[in-house]
Amino acid sequence: MAGIAIYPGTYDPVTKGHIDICERALKVVDHLVIGVADSPTKITFFDLDERFEMLQAVFGDNERISVKPFSGLLIEFARDCGAKVIVRGLRAISDFEYEVQLAGMNRSLASEIETVFLTAAQRYAFVSSSLVREIARLNGDVSEFLHPDTLRRLTEKLKNTQ
């Protein structure tokens, strides 16, 4: 086992694709820290507290997973968590180029921290948070892509913003 790993993202909202990556990461690490990014350059539908709460609702009972918000450099967050591994999910080849660039930059900043890529399960390879939000906004059924608590929160927020 690889000790502690972080799985960073905006999770706006968390999807079953994210959940699948987390569950599979636990096969190779002892503890997974889900880092909920607070990025000033990214406009999110759910605020940081809401995204944190959604992840807590999904993973709160799992002792091997913790959820922490972060801002700033990813490698500093990894160091603060004691992580030696950054987990990243790949859905398609289009994700690969960007993720390799990120991994290279992170390696140049912190050579002691490795990036590990997990490919999305086939049934989630096309699922993204932005696509799920858009389908839900147009009254499409996204229940197969979201945890029930996340679906409830998304439905409520869409009702309150229209």
| Positions marked active-site | 18, 42, 91, 129
Structural contact between residues 54 and 15, judged by C-beta atoms closer than 8 angstroms:
no
Strands (DSSP E) found in the chain: 4-9, 31-37, 65-70, 85-90, 114-119
| Integer angstrom CA distances of residue 147 from 56, 72, 88, 125 | 12, 28, 20, 17
Cα(60)–Cα(2) distance, rounded to whole angstroms?
22
Cα(42)–Cα(44) distance, rounded to whole angstroms?
6
